[in-house]
Amino acid sequence: MASEEFAQARVLWLLSDLCSMMLNPSNPNEPLSPFAILEDKRSLDIADVTADELDFLEAVTDELSTGLVKARVAEVLWITPGRRHIKHAQAALAGYQTVPLDDDTWWRGGEDCWGRALMLAPRLGKAGKEIAEQLSNRLFEALDREFDTPSPMLAPIATLILEHRVVHSQAADLPSRLEKVGRDSERSGHILRARRCYELSMDAYRAAKDPVSSARMTAALANTWVAEAEVIGDGEGAQPLIALNNLEKALQIYRKVPQRFRDQLGITELLFRLPQRIADAGNRSVGMMRVISTPPTDISGFVNDALEKVSGKSPVEALRALATLYPFAKKEDARQAALNTLRVGLIGALTGATYLDKGGRVIAKTKPLSLGAETSQDNEERIWAEMVKNHAFTRNLTVQGGVIPALGVMQREHCYKEQDLVELAKASALVPPDRALMVGKGLYWGMAGDFGMAVHFLIPQLENIVRFHMKGAELKTSNTDLEGIENENGLSTLLDVDGVDAVFGGDIVFEMKALFCSAFGPNLRNTFAHGLMDDDDFYSADAVYAWWFMLRWVAMVYWAQPAVSHQAAAEEQQASV
């Protein structure tokens, strides 16, 4: 009796381990991966399944009822070399089709199941043709219901159809139907749904080789941002900072309209007037700003404060608390603190300093501080080095006393998905329209605790963000060599261009220089670009701070929106968190 129970337990344990693996439909070569990967261990991977276990799975697959458990067993056999059989793929597809197309299951794995099914069926050739038709019919039937009564499932289903280029008799009508729902939603005040429908319609028209209609949808999308800016930017209770964000977002989107369609769609005149409206909104925003001061605290106070700010909150409010945990470092305060340090440590100030990297390579030097009344260039370099050195203390205290404890609570209480952070990036005027996916991915990996992955995405995108907005402000971002070839400047050069402080603010530029560009600091941009970061560097306090810096910068305007906007966003997008 005991042996029978043990055998049953082994079977159940094996099935449990198999079902624990994460389904990654975007990776056709490795669709299953461990759900947990730690420094020196991980959960079950497909390579861990033994030959005896695979023999057992082959023997019992046909006995299992159609569903997700059978789909997982069949999927394991299908992707294992030497075990592949067409019936396994068909069994997996049959199981994936049992997942209903509703928001109760979509955000809990349903999206991944349908995505995997749409990727797998065409790979079977003739054997998968009938299944592909079944999938197509199910999706378009669900989409018909959404067009009649729109819900948060409209956009995900339409997105899936467009991404996988699902073939159906109604596919040709998809762009116009999405446009209609977008127009109706805009008129009824469902602005977030309208924007998403315009985006999808824009992509659908482009896929249908209709560039004029695609450009029209681009303009319609930009118009929603202008209209919202007009509502919230004037009158009692005006929010010029939010209006500024919306107008900048509109300008970025209008610029995506191809030149040949701008006059036809009335975009040329808008592009001429919008910069002045943005400047006016910026001036009004500055007039409404105020200074907020907080008393100094020890690290226990930092930890307790961070935990209190994020604990027990909704996913949206917890993310807001994390993004606004602390303000940007003040450049002038940092300079004054550096001067105070140098004046107190007089002996150290009167000697030069040499900076080495971990390999002992000399990467920077400073000369002794001059005691003259006039500030020399050498003095400024020494002061700057001290400012960057002090910023390291700020980074470590912020990460260890605030960001890491708060993030730990949020990971236990919530489950943020990649799409949630992509949508945040899309809504921020800071992020160029064609970079929201990459920025969102970087922000997501930081939320998941993988800061190595996060900085791989975010460091290049930070440089692009700087270049994008400098070009928008007509600042020089490139140089021309003796042969007349124009080359883009790197981040360090960009941040030294006259006028860059006016674009981003001196405090943000200071933090970018201290963290990403200075040889006196971690110099993340250059060490990353030249492959000088080792495993520890990718998970250091500097990497964590770099991720949090980007989260804070991307989100700082978005989180200033009225609470009603966040409630509407949650209802419209049905975030999975």
Q: Taking the mean position of all CA atoms in its chain, how far away is CA 436?
A: 7
Contact between 212 and 238 (Cβ < 8 Å)? no
Q: Is residue 259 part of a domain?
A: yes
Span 536-576, pLDDT tens digits? 889 999 999 999 999 999 988 666 544 434 444 444 444 44
**Based on the structure, what is the number of domains in the chain?**
3
Distances in whole angstroms, Cα of residue 46 to Cα of each of 51, 73, 90, 116, 242: 11, 11, 20, 17, 48
d(CA 170, CA 550): 42
Q: Is residue 180 part of a domain?
A: no
Q: Is residue 322 part of a domain?
A: yes
Query: 402 and 267 in one domain?
Result: no
Query: 552 and 481 in one domain?
Result: yes
Query: 350 and 491 in one domain?
Result: yes
Identify the pLDDT of residue 177. Answer: 95
Query: 239 and 139 in one domain?
Result: no
Query: 108 and 26 in one domain?
Result: yes
Higher-confidence residue of 70 and 343: namely 70
Average pLDDT over residues 508-524: 90
Identify the pLDDT of residue 359. Answer: 45
Q: Is residue 175 part of a domain?
A: no
Query: 382 and 524 in one domain?
Result: yes
Q: Is residue 174 part of a domain?
A: no
Q: Is 559 exposed, middle or buried (0-12, 13-18, 19+ CB in 10 A)?
A: middle
Identify the pLDDT of residue 355. Answer: 44
Query: 354 and 272 in one domain?
Result: no
Higher-confidence residue of 286 and 577: namely 286
Bridge partners (DSSP) of residue 480 are 486
Span 348-401, pLDDT tens digits? 555 555 444 444 344 455 555 555 444 555 667 778 888 888 888 889 888 988
Q: Is residue 181 part of a domain?
A: no
Identify the pLDDT of residue 345. Answer: 52
352 backbone dihedrals φ, ψ, rounded to 5°:
-75, 170
* DSSP per-residue letters across 216-237: HHHHHHHHHHHHHHHHHHSSTT
Query: 305 and 286 in one domain?
Result: no
Average pLDDT over residues 84-90: 90
Of 489, 485, 515, the C-alpha closest to 500 is 489
Q: Is 209 exposed, middle or buried (0-12, 13-18, 19+ CB in 10 A)?
A: exposed
Span 44-79, pLDDT tens digits? 888 888 999 898 988 888 888 888 999 999 999 998
Q: Of the candidates 272, 290, 308, which is a domain's last residue?
A: 290
Q: What percent of the chain has pLDDT over 70?
A: 86
Q: Of the candidates 290, 307, 332, which is a domain's last residue?
A: 290
C-beta contacts of 160-169 below 8 A and 24+ residues apart? 160/111, 160/114, 160/115, 160/118, 162/200, 162/203, 162/204, 162/207, 164/115, 164/118, 164/119, 165/207, 166/118, 166/135, 166/136, 166/139, 166/140, 167/132, 167/136, 168/136, 168/137, 168/139, 168/140
Q: What percent of the chain has pLDDT over 90?
A: 41
Residue type present at position 277: R
Identify the pLDDT of residue 373. Answer: 41
Query: 343 and 245 in one domain?
Result: no
Query: 228 and 106 in one domain?
Result: no
What's the first-to-final CA gap in the chain, in angstroms?
Answer: 44
Span 402-450, pLDDT tens digits? 899 999 999 888 888 898 999 999 988 899 989 999 999 999 999 999 9
Identify the pLDDT of residue 568. Answer: 47
In the predicted structure, residue 11 carries a pLDDT above the cut 70? yes
Q: Is residue 307 part of a domain?
A: yes
Query: 279 and 236 in one domain?
Result: yes
Q: Is residue 135 part of a domain?
A: yes
For residue 211, what are the domain limits? Answer: 188-195+205-290
d(CA 564, CA 256): 30
Identify the pLDDT of residue 562. Answer: 45
Span 208-265, pLDDT tens digits? 999 999 999 999 999 999 998 888 766 666 777 778 888 888 999 999 999 999 999 9
Query: 542 and 407 in one domain?
Result: yes
Span 184-215, pLDDT tens digits? 999 999 999 999 999 999 999 999 999 999 99
In the predicted structure, residue 296 carries a pLDDT above the cut 80? no
Residue-averaged pLDDT of the chain: 84
Highest mean pLDDT among 123-137, 321-335, 413-427, 450-464: 450-464
